Amino acid sequence: MMEENIVSIVQLVLNLLFGGGFIVTLVTLKSERKKAKETARGAELDNIERATDILMRNIVTPLKEELNALRNETRKLRKAINKANSCTHSDNCPVLDVLRNDTKHQDQEQGRNDTD
Angle, alpha carbons 62-75-113 (nearest 5°): 95
pLDDT exceeds 90 at position 83: no
| pTM assigned to the model | 0.49
Cα separation, 21 vs 78, whole angstroms: 83
pLDDT exceeds 90 at position 43: yes
Cα separation, 64 vs 37, whole angstroms: 38
Cα separation, 62 vs 39, whole angstroms: 34
Per-residue confidence band for 69, with pLDDT thresholds at 50, 70 and 90:
very high
CA atoms within 13 A on the CB side of 17: 6
